[in-house]
Amino acid sequence: MSVPAVISVAQYLDLVNDRLREVPSDVGVEGEVSDLRVSHGKWVGFDLKDAQGGGVLKCFMTVWQLSVPLEDGMRVRVTGGAKVSARFGKFQLDVRTVELVGEGALKRAYLALKRKMQDEGLFDGARKRPIPRFPERIGLITSREAAAYGDFLRVLGNRWGGVEVDFVPVHVQGGNAVPEILAAFEHFHHLGESERPDVLVLTRGGGGLEDLHAFNDESVARAVFSSRVPVVVGVGHERDESLCDFVADVRASTPSNAAERVAPSRDEVRYELDAMTRRVEEVLRANLDARRRIVEHAASSASALVSRQRERLTSELDAFGTATDRWIPNISERIEGALRVLRQVDPNRVLARGYSIVKSGKTLLRDASELVVGTDVSVQLSRGTFDANVLRINGTGKQRLV
C-alpha cells in the first residue's frame, strides 16, 4: 500500500491503528488497577500499572462489559485491542475482558459485591419465604457426579418418602456452571403452577473461594433471589459462605442439611400424628366421662330426693301414730273425769244414801215455813215415790251449809 507524502491527522492515526491491530488481542496483560473512574454511569477508565518498574497502560471499557467489581489496587488480567484514540490522541487499550487475579483480589471483589447486594436489600430477612412443611415435589439443581447429589437423596429418603425430585444436572464449577445453573432456574421459573416444584434446592460440596465462583456469581445470586419458588441453598461446609447462601430463602450448611431443611422427619411426623389422635381421644373420653358423671349425679340425686320424701312420710306417719295414740286415752280420761263429776252430782246417789226429795206440786220444797198444814206433798225416795199430807209444822230452823 502506497502512502501519500502528506496526510491528515485522522488519516495518520488510522495508519497507526492499522499497525496496532497486529498486536495479538488475546494476550492477557496483568497489572494493578489504579485511578479507576466511571463517567456518566457508562464509561469505565483506569490505569493498569506494574507493581514494580512503572509501566502504565490506559484502559477503557463500558460498564456493561465489566463483569467483576473493580477497585483501585486490585490485581487483574485484561485482554483487548490496542489503539490510539483519535479524539484524545492517547494510546489506550480497549478492554474486552477483565479477570481478577489471586485470592486477595477475588476476596475483595466478593466483599464489594456482597456489600452492593446487601445495600439493595437482597439479603433482607423480611423477603425470605417459608418453605412448605410437606413438599410433594422438589427441584434439585446440582452436579450428578458430586457427593452432594448422593448425600441429599440419601438423607431425604431417610427422613421422608414419596416425593418427586425433579433433578436438573448441572456443572457446579468450571466455565459452564453459571449458564447451566441460570438455565435450570429459568426452567423452573417458567413452569406452570401444576408442574412447579414446592421448593428448589441448589447444592454442592465445599470448596475454596475460587471453586465457589458460580455460587458467588451475581447473576446466579439474582436468579436465586427472583425465583418464583422458594430456594434452599446448601454449599459445602459450615465455614463456607456464598452470595447464594445470603439470598436464599433458607440457608443450609451442607447437602445433607439441605435435605433436612426441605423434608420433615418421618419419625417426628409419626409422633405428632400419634400425639394428635391421642389428644383427640382424650378430650372425647373426658367429655364422655363428664357426661356420664352428670347422668350418674342426676340419678343419685333423684333417688336421694325420693328417699328423703319417703323418710318424711314415715316420720309424719309416726308422729300421727303417736299423736293419735295419746289422743284416745286423753279423750277417755276426760270422759272419765266428766263421768266422775257427773256421778258426784247425781241426785240418785244422794237419795241412795237415805235422802228424799219433797215437792208440792211442781215446786221443790226447801223451807218448812213455806208449807201450809193440810197440803198434799209428794216424796221421792231412792226407789219409788209416795204422797203425804202435812200434819204439823215444827219450826222453821236455819239453813246450814258445810
Residue of 277, 303, 322, 375 interacting with another protein (CB under 8 A): 277
- Rounded to 5 degrees, what are φ and ψ at 175? -65, -25
Please tell me the count of residues contacting another protein according to CB under 8 A: 43
Residue-wise DSSP of 192-213 = -TTT--SEEEEEE----TTTTG
Cell of 69: 467489581
- What is the smallest separation between the CB atom of 248 and another protein, expressed in angstroms? 19
Interaction between residue 187 and another protein (CB under 8 A): yes
CA dist 2 and 65 (Å) reads: 38
| Residue 302 lies near another protein (rule: CB under 8 A) | no
Name the burial class of residue 45, with classes exposed (0-12), middle (13-18) and buried (19+) by CB atoms within 10 angstroms of its CB.
middle
Measured between alpha carbons, how far is 103 from 74 in angstroms, rounded to an integer? 11
Which residue lies nearer to another protein by CB, 133 or 362? Answer: 133
8 Å CB contact between 106 and 76: no
Interface residue with another protein among 42, 133, 353, 366 (CB under 8 A) is: 133
- 192 is a contact residue toward another protein (CB under 8 A): no
> Cβ atoms within 10 A of the Cβ of 36, count?
15
Using rule CB under 8 A, residue 235 touches another protein: no
Burial of 78 (0-12, 13-18, 19+ CB in 10 A): buried
What x/- string results for residues 195 through 234 when contact with another protein is judged by CB under 8 A? ---x------------------------------------
Closer by beta carbon to another protein, 161 or else 374? 161
CB of 109 to another protein, least distance (A): 25
Residues 50-89: x where in contact with another protein by CB under 8 A, - otherwise, as a string = ----------------------------------------
Residues composing the chain: 402
Of 226, 287, 303, 307, which lies in the binding site for another protein, with binding defined by CB under 8 A?
287
Site for another protein in 149-178 (CB under 8 A): 153, 156-157, 160-171, 176
CA of 138: how far to CAs of 81, 131, 253, 259, in Å?
A: 47, 11, 18, 10
Cα separation of 376 and 361, whole Å?
8
Nearer to another protein, 276 or 299 (CB): 276
Residues that bind another protein (CB under 8 A): 132-134, 136-138, 153, 156-157, 160-171, 176, 180, 183-184, 187, 194, 198, 266, 269-270, 273-274, 276-277, 279-281, 283-284, 287-288, 291
